[in-house]
Amino acid sequence: MSTVTTANYLNYINGEWIESNSNETIESINPAAPSEIVGVIQSSTTDDLDKAVEAAKHAQKPWRNLSGAQRGEILYKVAGLMEERLEEIAECATKEMGKTLAETKGETKRGIAILKYYAGEGMRKVGDVIPSTDNEALMFTTRVPLGVVGVITPWNFPVAIPIWKVAPALIYGNTVVIKPASESAVTFAKIAQCFADAGLPKGVLNMVTGSGAVVGGGIAKHPDIKGITFTGSNAVGKSIAHEAMKRGVKYQLEMGGKNPVIVAKDADLELAVDAVIKGAFLSTGQKCTATSRVIVEEAVYDRFVEKLVIETKKITIGSGLHASSWMGPCASESQYKNVLQAIQTGVSDGAKLLLGGKPYEDKESGGYFVEPTIFEVADQEIAIAREEIFGPVIALIKVSSLESAVEVANDSAYGLSASIFTQNITRMLKFVQEMEAGLIRINAESAGVELQAPFGGMKESSSHSREQGEAAKEFFTSIKTVFVKG
């Protein structure tokens, strides 16, 4: 079997690395040093996608017919290979999308843990025995795979998100066609090589790179793809849902967020400040669960803001490969421009700029760096308080009470994650009960969920299904009820 080269990364279809029919490529650029090309990926066509789907369709029955334990053994092997190549994968992810090396190493370790978790799922039950009204009959349920599953992933978690979709799809007997984001496709090519080297049968996992409109749109419309799992923007997610509904296939969407953190008057302010900074500025704010709004009770507002500004000024910015850098660049030039435009809109709309708000100039690299930015917002209807930015920007909102804080937190089209800082158990329980979000965090940053726990949002953040943990089984399989009578 051929392998990917150091420069030209091919599509992985039916166990082989092959060039696109288009003979066109896309450069993956290092956002910390835009003159550096990390790798070149294929600009694929619908013909390339058709070949990948056909390979997955052909491989699905023999893959499904393996035992869960046999499928799990391969996932364990993939995890072992990723452990051996951890440094290489993490460094590539940092070069492609800018996160610090410490973060990408942690993400790669998480991807390895996810593979091991789902490898174990191959030995767990797939159904239940149900009492029948006929005492001479046996009735039970079992689960069956969907078939060929299309996976469309974003650039912000180039290791963890693809794996937390691909691993459960495979362990439950599906085959996969994945379109990773172009900005991080080189990283996934290295992961795909681990699957290949682990002995995954040909056609079980296929990677096709290229434009979202061509490859992603093609996945949504393809008649032989029976399930689609997507993480990305609301606009694209809704278009995928529309196409999937027309074909009557399952779809799973994880989309945007405008995640609030409430700081109550009895909060541990040092803890809250530390968590807000990490939640808002780690990964340059490029997480769907990143802290975006900080809603603070007026009794502690001034003290909290003072501490927050002082600590945020300590953040070091630079290439994620430098050990001294705490925050890296925006992942691409377009994202960099979007963040700066959002900041300018905030200023124009009358939000008070307390810190940052400008490009951070690294004269040596010319990277896409933006200063950590803090706004104070009086009008909660302006864009900076309502629209997802996906950058190192937070909006501070002062409120008079916890009741007002929860009301403001829920006043959003999104409902992905939310956090509160308080030492009062009654306030904690009230927040848990009333907050309209899929992920609730108490005295912890808004970002972060453990791999064995369900993950997903409410309102426009999600299609209301859940990823990760045992919840993944609900999407990647269908229940079959069986009635047996001798």
List active site positions: 254
User: Cα(486)–Cα(480) distance, rounded to whole angstroms?
Assistant: 19
User: Cα(459)–Cα(410) distance, rounded to whole angstroms?
Assistant: 10
3-state secondary structure (DSSP) of residue 481: strand
Contacts of 344 (CB under 8 A, 6+ apart): none
Contacts of 133 (CB under 8 A, 6+ apart): none
The DSSP call for residue 200 is P
CA distance readout (Å), 199 to 60, 78, 115, 190, 195: 16, 9, 15, 15, 7
User: Cα(39)–Cα(6) distance, rounded to whole angstroms?
Assistant: 7
**b/e map 446-459, b = 16+ CB within 10 Å:** bbbbebeebbbbbb
Contacts of 363 (CB under 8 A, 6+ apart): none
Which H/E stretch holds residue 125? none
User: Cα(73)–Cα(432) distance, rounded to whole angstroms?
Assistant: 39
Q: At 337, list the tokens.
A: 């421009």
CB 315 within 8 A of CB 277: yes
CB 182 within 8 A of CB 192: no
CA distance readout (Å), 97 to 137, 156, 166, 275, 389: 57, 7, 21, 23, 17
